[in-house]
Amino acid sequence: MSAFELASRSVIAFMILFVWCRILGKKLMSQMTFFDFAAGVTIGTITGSIIFTNSLSMWKGFAALSVFSALALLSGLLAMRSLRLRKLLNGEPTLLIKKGQILEQGMKKARITMDDLLMMLRKKSAFYPDEVELAYFESDGTLSVLKKSDLLPVTPKDLNLTVPTRGQSQTLIIDGRILPNSVNASGKDIQWINQQLKNLGVERMSDVALAQIDQLDKLYVDLRQDSGIQ
């Protein structure tokens, strides 16, 4: 295989893979089920074969990649409409702990060892199984934990307190560049932003790595030299 052919295969494979990744969406990049993981690995393997396997026709390889990607997309769309298919592809959560009691049958079903369970509990800040009301082993391999009610942190609602919400933040500046649409959505203008930066001792907008404002008009500014100002 010549260097030109290798480069051509790589460029075309990159473009087709990019298109299919955009079509398939973000799920393959998020917490994946085993099926999602297998589909992602297969797509990557087919792409690698297209680039490096000289005996494989480039167009046959692209056809195989497109067909498999289309099947992965179709299975995802059908799973959204069919609960039975969704359970078949993704599986179901497995109950591992109920009212502080570890369920050995659930652990066998999920093929989880006691060491694995204790490690995942620690990651959820649950160092003692008897603190846990419910624990589910999810289909994406993570553990969801609900602690017993008397161990849950006190919330403002428990104290009959009303806490104002900060709402959705608007990013005004990224890497020294102002974002006009976000500025308009925040109800502010560039003059107001410049004045706030001046009040904080920031001389140039280009020095700002990130600037955000919430619905309470609280401004957050982070400078490029990693010194935060609020």
- Rounded CA-CA distance 208/189 in Å is 17
Lowest mean pLDDT among 77-81, 164-168, 184-188: 77-81
List alpha helices for the chain, DSSP H: 3-24, 34-52, 58-81, 83-90, 104-110, 114-123, 180-186, 190-199
Mean pLDDT of the chain: 84
- pLDDT of residue 147 exceeding 60, the answer is yes
> In the prediction, which pLDDT does 180 show?
92
- pLDDT of residue 27 exceeding 60, the answer is no
- Rounded CA-CA distance 133/149 in Å is 8
Across 9-13, 39-43, 67-71, 109-113, the highest mean pLDDT is recorded for 109-113
Comparing 213 with 65, which gets the higher pLDDT? 213
- pLDDT of residue 87 exceeding 80, the answer is no
- Rounded CA-CA distance 220/230 in Å is 5
Could you give the percent of the chain with pLDDT greater than 90?
31
Query: Quick one: CATH architecture of 94-151?
Result: 2-Layer Sandwich (3.30)
> In the prediction, which pLDDT does 230 show?
46
The pLDDT of 193-197, averaged and rounded, is 93
Give residue 108's pLDDT band: very low, low, confident or very high (50, 70, 90): very high
> In the prediction, which pLDDT does 29 show?
52
Domain 170-229 has CATH 3.10.450.50: no
> In the prediction, which pLDDT does 142 show?
87
- Rounded CA-CA distance 140/34 in Å is 7
Count of alpha carbons within 13 angstroms of residue 83, beta-carbon side: 0
> In the prediction, which pLDDT does 105 show?
92
Comparing 57 with 180, which gets the higher pLDDT? 180
Which residue intervals of the chain bear CATH 3.30.240.20?
A: 94-151, 170-229
